[in-house]
Amino acid sequence: MNHKEIKLFYASNSIFTFANSIIGIFIPLYLFEKGFSLSLIILFFVITQFSRLIFLPVSAWLSSAIGAKKIIGLSFVVSIIFYLILDKIDYLSNGFYLSALIYGIVHAFFYLPFLVHLSKMSPDNNRGKILGKFNIFLAIAGALGPILGGIIISSYGFSAGFSTVIVLLVPAILLLLLTPEISKIRKINFRIINIKKIYPDLIANGFLNFQIFLSYAVWPIFIFLIVSEYDRVGLIQTISLFVSIVVFYVLGIWVDKFDRKKILLWGSLFSFFADIMRVFASSFASVLLLNTSSVAFEKAKRMAWDAKIQEHMDREPRTEYICFFEIGGTFVAFILLILFMLLIQSFSLKDALFCGIIISSLSGIFINLIRK
Residue 257 pLDDT greater than 80, yes or no: no
Place 242 in a pLDDT band, splitting at 50, 70 and 90: confident
What amino acid occupies position 186? R
Average pLDDT over residues 108-113: 89
- How many whole angstroms separate alpha carbon 124 and alpha carbon 315? 11
Mean pLDDT of 225-243: 92
Which of 1.20.1250.20, 3.10.310.70, 3.40.50.300, 3.30.428.10 is the CATH number of 3-181+196-369? 1.20.1250.20
Contact between 141 and 24 (Cβ < 8 Å): no
Task: Check residue 330 and give its pLDDT.
Answer: 95
In angstroms, the CA 267 to CA 300 distance is: 6
Report the range of poorest mean pLDDT among 37-51, 53-67, 183-197, 347-361.
Answer: 183-197
Return all residues near 281 (Cβ < 8 A) that are at least 6 apart. 222, 223, 226, 287, 290, 291
Q: What is the mean pLDDT of the chain?
A: 87
Calpha distance 89→4 (Å, rounded) = 41
Per-residue pLDDT tens for 158-191? 999 999 999 999 999 999 888 777 666 677 788 8
Contacts of 83 (CB under 8 A, 6+ apart): 23, 162, 165, 166
Cα separation, 291 vs 203, whole angstroms:
27
Q: Which of 71-75, 97-101, 133-137, 339-343 has the lowest mean pLDDT?
A: 133-137
Tell me which long-range contacts 279-285 makes (C-beta under 8 A, separation of at least 24).
279/354, 279/357, 279/358, 281/222, 281/223, 281/226, 282/226, 283/226, 284/226, 284/227, 284/232, 284/236
pLDDT tens sequence across 281-298: 999 999 999 999 998 888
Q: Is the dihedral of CA 165, 147, 151, 39 positive or negative?
A: positive
Band of pLDDT at residue 128, cut at 50, 70 and 90: low
CB count within 10 Å of CB 101 equals 18
Nearest to 73 by CA among 104, 48, 109: 109
Work out the average pLDDT over 206-212. 95
User: Distance between CA 117 and CA 68 in Å, rounded?
Assistant: 6
Q: Which of 68, 61, 74 is nearest to 102 (CA)?
A: 74
In terms of phi and psi (left: phi > 0; alpha: psi -120 to 50; beta: otherwise), the region of 198 is alpha
Q: Where are the alpha helices (DSSP H) in 228-348?
A: 230-257, 260-276, 284-315, 318-343
User: Is residue 193 within 8 Å of residue 40, measured between CB atoms?
Assistant: no
Least confident residue range of 101-115, 236-250, 344-358? 236-250
